[in-house]
Structure 1
Amino acid sequence: MSTHETSAREEVDAIIAGAGGWRAEALATIRAVIISADPEIVEEIKWRKPSKPEGVATWTCRGNVCMADVLKKAVRLTFPRGARLDDPTGLFNARLDGSTVRAIDVFEGAQVDEGALRRLVLEAVAENRAG
């Protein structure tokens, strides 16, 4: 594992710890599903800015696969090419009006359908590999 990957993993750990409570649990579950879906998926931190110095936890494989944001009332997992993905179980419940992006908002008390999420991640990786 490269120093960059170790650093990103530690920074994602810090984002999860900073989320606290149910949001930390949800983000940890989401993260575990994503990184177990494909061995080529890499964790990165992107989009650092003064209002968000910790940046955004992002998972990549030949391009962005998805990124997570901790919101006040949800954990949002955004797929930049989500509109191209088949979502038969209806995980996407946010950013549905755009032509490319789709997102999943996980709210307190909600269970993440790990199998359906894994399928979406694998499909997103396949989209990236196809170009």
Structure 2
Amino acid sequence: MTNRARRIDVYMQKATQWRAEMEALREIVLATPVHETFKWRQPCYTYDDSNICILSSYKPGATLSFPRGALMKDPEGLLFAPGENTRAARFMRFSSVEEVAEREETLRSYLLEAIELVKSGRKVDFEATREIDRPDELIDRLDDDPEYREAFDGLTPGRQRSWCLHFGGAKKAETRASRVEKAREKVLSGKGWNER
């Protein structure tokens, strides 16, 4: 019995960059007790219906991301956060098949650790990092518009965080105020910054 998903076979055949590296990573991942599936337009590997890792490629190389990577030990220092505001996921990047082969044993141990995290039920404590400052421009706008405030406060904590990071990412006060204003309709629709 094989754990390969036909859709991933097709995905690999169509890959235009880092295909060999992704195929090498796939073989290592499939040697562990995971289920291969397709999520977010990428190969995803699960254990007990929980995500273990996601295989993808970007310009700098093939990547394997671990949704609970922040909890992993990472003795080799191979995991990195994809962005400064990332709280849970960690990535490993590979730029050659040789690099994948050299790190096979380490990669296998990381995969098994990720599976153990799922088995143990451990999750990243988002409560510890939930609070994020609301930009003054948002506070002022919400004070002036009760409907906007109610909608914003009704968003999930993750959606609120995404908006605050988006608003606060602007250097100029005018730009922050403009972003807050432009966001109103999406917020009233219950959407986060990166949702359509």
Compute the TM-score of the two structures, normalised by the length of structure 2.
0.54
| Aligned residue number for residue 64 of structure 1 | 51
Count of matched residue positions in the alignment of Structure 1 and Structure 2: 117
Structure 2 unaligned segments of length 5 or more: list them: 122-196
Among residues 59, 83, 94, which one is paired with 1:106 in the alignment?
A: 94
Higher gyration radius (CA): 2
Which protein is richer in strand relative to its size?
A: 1
Among residues 3, 28, 31, which one is paired with 2:23 in the alignment?
A: 28
Instruction: Indicate the structure whose relative CO is greater, using CA pairs within 8 Å and at least 6 residues apart.
Output: 1
Structure 1 unaligned segments of length 5 or more: list them: 48-54
Partners in 1 of 2:39 and 2:93 — Cα distance?
20
Asked if 1:46 is matched to 2:39, the reply is yes
Compute the TM-score of the two structures, normalised by the length of structure 1.
0.78
Q: Which amino acid aligns with 1:74?
A: G
Equivalent residue of 2:54, what SS? strand
Equivalent residue of 1:64, what SS? strand
Runs (4+) of structure 1 exceeding 4 A deviation are none
Residue identity over aligned pairs, in percent, reads 26
Asked if 1:128 is matched to 2:128, the reply is no
| Aligned residue number for residue 13 of structure 1 | 9
Query: What do you get for the CA RMSD once the two structures are aligned?
Result: 2.2
